Structure 1
C-alpha cells in the first residue's frame, strides 16, 4: 500500500487495507471463510506461534479479511494499528483488558450509552475493576477522581444519546498529566467527523455495527491504537511493559514499540477472550466503509435540517442537537467536528413519558429499534429500553430522562422525515 498516494479520507475509505487478491486478481477483499491456515514447515509454525513472524495461524486470532478491515480502520483514525472484535461492547473490554487488574479503576464520563454505563458499573465488578463516574465538564472533578489505582480515562466523542460533545483536548491534557491513556468511543462521530487521536486520545473504540457498516446487517467492534503512548514510562501497565510468561518473557512494548498494544490485543486478548469478529461481518463492514463519507454528509445535512424544524414545534420542549445555535456545545462541536455534529440527538416532549411512548408508536418511517447509525432513520425511548437498568438520576445524567426520545437521523429525504415526525408529534400531544 505504500506506493499508493493516499491522504484524502475518501481515498482511504476505499483503498486502505485493500489489494487485488494475489490468486485471482479480485478487486474486492475476499471473505476468507476458514478456521485455519497451512504452515510452510515446522519452523514457520514455530516462528508464528512465537510472535517472531507475522502471519496467519487460526481465525480466532488473525484472518485476511479481518486484517484488511483493521488496516483500513487504523488508516481512517490515524492510528498505528487496530484490533477488530465481535461488537462495540467487546471492543471496550479489549481496550481495557491489557491495562487493568483487580483493584484498578477507570475514570469515566457520566454521559455514556446506557449499556456502557451498565457494563462499567456492574459487569466490571466481576473482574475486580471499578469505574468512577464524573461530569466531564468539571475538569477539577476528573483530576480529583484519579488516584494511584487509576489506569485509564474513558469518554465518548458525541455522547449517546444526549448530543453532549466531550472536550477531548482538555481531557487529553489531564490524561497526559497523570500518565494515563485516554480511551474515546468514537461510534457516533466516526473518523469522518472527528479523529480523537488528533486531539490526544491514546485508544479509539467504535461499534462498527453503526455508521461504519451503515446498513444494520452485522455487529462488530474495533480498537484503534495511536501508537503514541509510552507503556514503559511507569510500572502501571505490566502486561505491555514487563515480560509475558505465556511468550517466554517477551516484552510487548520493548519488542513491538508503537504496535505493542495491537500485538497484545491479538496474541493475548483475542487468544484468551475469544471476542472474534467473523470474516463475513468484516466483509460487510469493508463494503459499508467505502461510502462512509457520502453517507455521513447526508446524515449530518438531514440532522441539521430536522433539528432546526423540531426546535420550533409546539410539542417539543427541547432539542439536544449540538449543531443548533441553542446548544451549549455548538462551538465545541465546530472545533472537534468541523464537518458536522453527527446525526444522533434527543428531543424532550412537553407531554412527558406518556407522550414519548405515543410518539414512538405513531411514527411510520422511523424504525423503532435498539440501534443507531443505520441508513434508515431510527427512534427509541431510551428510559424504557437502552437506559432502563439505570436509576432516574442516572438516566437524567446520561441525557436519557423519561420525557426524552432519541432520534438517529438517516439518509432518506428530509421532507418525508419531517412529515412523519409532524404527524407523530401531533398524535402524541
Structure 2
C-alpha cells in the first residue's frame, strides 16, 4: 500500500465484536488472562497479547504499526511524548560511561536532555562542530553507542546528509538515530537511507491539530546487534530487569524495540494514553493530504518573505539558493516540510514588534499544527542556552520561526505583510 492508504488502513480492519471501522479506544488499565499459564506466557513474551496499558494497549498498537509501516521499520513503540521517545531510545542502548554523538542543530528540549539530564546519569553527549559526516566521525570512539540527528533541524531548518551520517556511524559499528518529526515519513523515510532507529514527536504533524501529546520510536530491524555482543551488552546478555531474557535471542531483528518496551517504558512509565492514541490516529489519516498543503503554502511564504524589503534573510531549504537545497531534493522530494525562519532588518526589536502584530499566526511554541504558528526561539524554546550555544544550534536573536499551516495562502500573506509593516 502507498503511504496515504497505510495511514488509513494498516494494522486494523474492523472491531471483531462490533464491526466498528474506527479504531476503538481501549480506555482500560489491564487485560484478563485466560488462565495462569496464559499469564505466564504473556510475561515470558512467548505469546503476543496485552497485559497492562503501561507497556501495551490495542489502540496504541495500531498507531505503532502504522508509524512503523510508514517509516519502513520492523516495529514501533508509542509513548507519552516525543521527549520520552528520544530518552527511551537512548536509554535502551546506553549506561553510565557511554557517549552519544549528536549534530548541534537540535530542538531546544532535546538539547536540554542531552546537555544536562543525560550527563547526570553518566551518559556523555558530544556535540559535533556542524552536521557534516566528517564532524560526526571525529567524535566517535569505542564508548559511542549511537549517532543522533534531526532529518530537518528545528528551528535551524538544516537538512542533514542521512546517508553520509549512516556510513560513518556504521563504519564504527554504531547505529544512526534520526528524529524525523519535522519531515514526517510522508516527505522523508530515513531508514531508506541507512538510519537504524527513527523517533517522532507525533504531537506535531502526525497529530496535526494541537490536541494530543505523543511520541513514537520505530526500529528498522536492520542493525546487527548480535554481531557486537560486548558493545551492546544490554541486548545480548540476560536482562535482570525482565527475568533474564536475552533480547537478540528472543526477538532477533526486533531486539531493540522489545527492550525499549520492557525496560525503560515498563519501569519508568511514560505511557501513551489510549485516548491520545485515538486522536493521533485521526490526525495520521489525513497526514499525506495536509503535508501537500503545508509544503505548498511554505514555499509561497518563503518566496514572499525573501522579496519583502523589510526582511533581512530567510532560511528555507525549499528555496533554490539555500545551501541545503540539494539535500532537500535528495531526501525530502524538494519539499522540506513547512518550518522556516527569517530575520527582520530592524533586528531583535523589529522582530518583537512583528511578532506582537500577528493576527492569524498563533504565538506559541508548537509546530506542525494545521493552524499557522509563530515562535521567537531565542526567548522561548532555546532560552536555556547562552548566545554561543544558540548560535551553534542555528538560533539568532532576531530569528522568527514560522510553522506554516493549511489556511488560505492569501490570508497568511496578508497577515505577514501587515505585521511587517507594523514592525
Normalised to the residue count of structure 2, the TM-score between the two structures is 0.98
Q: Contact between 1:70 and 1:81, CA under 8 Å: does it hold in 2? A: yes
Distance (Å, rounded) in 1 between the aligned partners of 2:388 and 2:74: 39
Q: Is the 8 A contact 2:328 2:334 kept in 1?
A: no
2:175 paired residue number? 181
**Equivalent of 1:100 in 75, 81, 94:** 94
- Matched residue, 1:341: 336
Q: Report the secondary structure of 2:348's partner residue.
A: helix
Q: What pairs with 1:117-196 in structure 2 (closer than 5 Å)?
A: 117-196=111-190
1:185-226 Cα distance to aligned partner (Å, 9 max, x none): 000000000000001000000000000000000000000000
- Say which of 398, 409, 414 aligns to 2:409: 414
* Number of aligned residue pairs: 422
Equivalent of residue 21 in structure 1, options 15, 29, 34: 15
1:216 aligns with 2:216: no
Cα distance in 2 for partners of 1:359, 1:395 equals 21
* Within-5 A mapping of 1:257-296: 257-296=252-291
Question: 1:244 & 1:67 partners in 2: Cα distance?
Answer: 24
Contact 1:210 1:374 in 2 (8 A): yes
In structure 1, the partner of 2:387 is 392
1:371 aligns with 2:371: no
Measured on the aligned residues, the alpha-carbon RMSD in Å equals 1.0
Local SS of the residue matching 2:245: coil
- 1:3 aligns to what? none
Corresponding residue SS for 2:226: coil
2:69 paired residue number: 75
Alpha-carbon distance between aligned partners in 1 of 2:360 and 2:240, rounded to the nearest angstrom = 55
Aligned 8 A contact 2:202 2:280 in 1: yes
Contact 2:187 2:336 (8 Å CA) reproduced = yes
The answer to whether the Cα contact below 8 Å between 1:368 and 1:379 also exists between their aligned partners in 2 is yes
1:203 aligned residue: 197
Contact 2:132 2:161 in 1 (8 A): no
Deviation at 1:246, TM superposition (A): 3.5
Q: 2:41 aligns with which of 44, 47, 52?
A: 47
Alpha-carbon separation, structure 2, partners of 1:279 and 1:48: 21
Listed as ranges, the gaps of 5+ residues in structure 2 are none
Distance 2:136 2:336 in 1: 25
Matched-pair contact (CA < 8 Å) for 1:136–1:166: no
| Conserved 8 A contact 1:98-1:237 | no
Moved over 4 A (4+): none
Give 5+ residue unaligned stretches, structure 1.
1-5
Q: 1:330 aligns with which of 325, 346, 355?
A: 325
Q: How far off its partner does 1:341 sit?
A: 1.3
1:149-192, Cα deviation, whole Å (9 max, x unpaired) = 11100000010011100000100000110100100000000000
